[in-house]
Structure 1
Amino acid sequence: MEYSTILTLCSFSFLAGFIDAIIGGGGLIQTPAILFTLPQYSVPTLIGTTKIPSLSGSLMGAFQYSRRVAVAGRFIGPMMAIAFGASWLGAWTLTRVPNSFMKPFALVILVAVFIYTLTQKSFGQVSHRIVTAQQQRLRMWVMGAIIGFYDGFFGPGTGSFLILGFITLIGFDFLKASAHAKLVNAATNLSCVLFFANKGLILYSFAFPMALANLSGAFLGARLAILKGNRFIRVFFLLVIAATILRFAWDLLT
């Protein structure tokens, strides 16, 4: 039974890594899968377990993108450090206060994002500079703090929010935004892994096989995104945002 359970979780983790590498949102697949498959464990333990496969997928996606997409090296390192610390703070906060109020809040934001992206055909199709270098630095650091905290405290949609921020606030196209989002998401995932591991809230017998599957999916997803380009990623972005909206709406109504 345990082998069949691991195989099931690995299948979902592969799909999560594939989608997450393209546009984010893999947690919408991986997290419900492990919560449904292993109901005998506590929710913090299961969430902690998913962070190792999420980290492996983020690292693979970041590696694939960085080989083909120019990265804002001067700014992304400090942004990753800020996101790392903010994610740890978010995870710590989660152990002390409930996060149930986040779903309605995130749902409203996601609906607005979906409508805007759908109506603006040129959104994220080309990279253009909309701010000075100093403004870019400040915006990236603030974004790292806010979204990093969100990832540790709540999580779903983090990759999509990062991509949205890089496009609207910095002026990146979808491909470049995805590349930078993977780097920041790797930092937030690493922070969560260290936090949950320190608390003894990771099931390693499930986490490591899932990590291998997630990494494989991320490899294929990133390669496909790089091959197909911005239009393909835009379609995936809309699909993932729509799925996230439906998921949050279902949770609120049931």
Structure 2
Amino acid sequence: MIEAATLLDGSGLQGMEPGTIALIVLAGFAAGWVDAVVGGGGLLQLPALLLVPGISPVQALATNKLGSVFGTTTSAVTYYRRAHPDLKTAIPMATVALAGSFGGAILATLLPEEVIKPVIIAALIAVGLFTLFKPTAGELTNLRHTGSRHYAVAGVIGLVIGGYDGLIGPGTGSFLIIAMVAFMGYNFLAASAKAKIVNMATNLGALAFFLPSGHLLWGIGLVLGAANMVGGYLGARMAVSKGSKFIRIVFLAVVGALILKLGYDVLFPAV
């Protein structure tokens, strides 16, 4: 269960070592790039925040969302300008996901992570095996549903994965992409473009819960956000120029890293 302790006050930057600030900037840039391509930037960003002396887990989670909002917004705009995603699907999906993320953030204060992580690892393994052994999946868009059924499936995906993002977070973009590829029939590029819009909404939903709580460290969050924006812009441009095959390769690498990270957390929980 996440404790609502406040160990740092204000911006969080006061008295911070230059090396720690450099680590946050580097993690924010790398996380923005990874998130823009396939999601999973939280693997880099959240652990970096937890290395800040005196920060509490809930402060790290809240500040991580603040930084991520900048990166996902930048990559969403870049994708929109270059890949022109279908907003008729993305906007309703993002709206439902925002509500799911807000609810997930509430649950984050109530449920222990050790109950959820084994389920997430199993889902990630299934996702990785599907992508690995179905090399043609996500190469071309071949929509599986039409009309109201298409939007209903999009809404369910947005609600479930939005809830996950508010509850835990890392890998949200990856789950969104594979869900749109496997259950809706989009190619990796189209799915990634929509995932950024939805992921932007899930970050905002979780942030709406954390904002009035007083846990945000604004100075760290804004530094993180600036680095996220640069990484997100460059990652989105590269993903659009390289196409679905490139995204698939990076996707498999990120999913593998997520499995290792969460697996380590389950096997060797922090004392």
**TM-score class, shorter:** over 0.9
1:114 alignment counterpart: 128
Instruction: Map 1:147-186 onto structure 2 (within 5 A).
Output: 147-186=161-200
1:93 alignment counterpart: 107
Task: Give the count of matched residue pairs.
Answer: 253
The letter for the 2-side match of 1:175 is L
2:41 alignment counterpart: 26
Corresponding residue to 2:251 among 223, 237, 253: 237
Structure 1 residue 39: deviation in Å? 4.3
The superposition leaves residues 142-165 of structure 1 with CA deviations (integer Å, 9 ceiling, x where unpaired) of 111111111101111110000011
Are 1:192 and 2:199 counterparts?
no
Structure 1 residue 75: deviation in Å? 2.7
The superposition leaves residues 203-239 of structure 1 with CA deviations (integer Å, 9 ceiling, x where unpaired) of 1111101100011001111111111111111000000
The letter for the 1-side match of 2:23 is T
The letter for the 2-side match of 1:114 is G
CA distance in 1, matches of 2:150, 2:53: 44
Are 1:140 and 2:154 counterparts?
yes
2:234 alignment counterpart: 220
Matched residue SS, 2:137: coil
Matched residue SS, 2:226: helix
The letter for the 2-side match of 1:104 is P
CA distance in 1, matches of 2:153, 2:236: 26
CA distance in 2, matches of 1:200, 1:3: 25
Structure 1 residue 96: deviation in Å? 2.2
The letter for the 1-side match of 2:193 is A
Are 1:13 and 2:12 counterparts?
no
CA distance in 2, matches of 1:211, 1:131: 37
Cα RMSD, aligned residues only:
1.1
What is the identity percentage for the equivalent residue pairs of Structure 1 and Structure 2?
40
CA distance in 1, matches of 2:244, 2:187: 7
2:96 alignment counterpart: 82
The superposition leaves residues 15-53 of structure 1 with CA deviations (integer Å, 9 ceiling, x where unpaired) of 010111000000001011111x22412100111001111
Matched residue SS, 1:100: helix
2:4 alignment counterpart: none
Matched residue SS, 2:45: helix
Matched residue SS, 2:83: coil
State the TM-score, normalizing by the size of structure 2: 0.91
CA distance in 2, matches of 1:3, 1:166: 41
2:9 alignment counterpart: none
CA distance in 2, matches of 1:116, 1:217: 28
1:4 alignment counterpart: 19
CA distance in 1, matches of 2:179, 2:29: 26
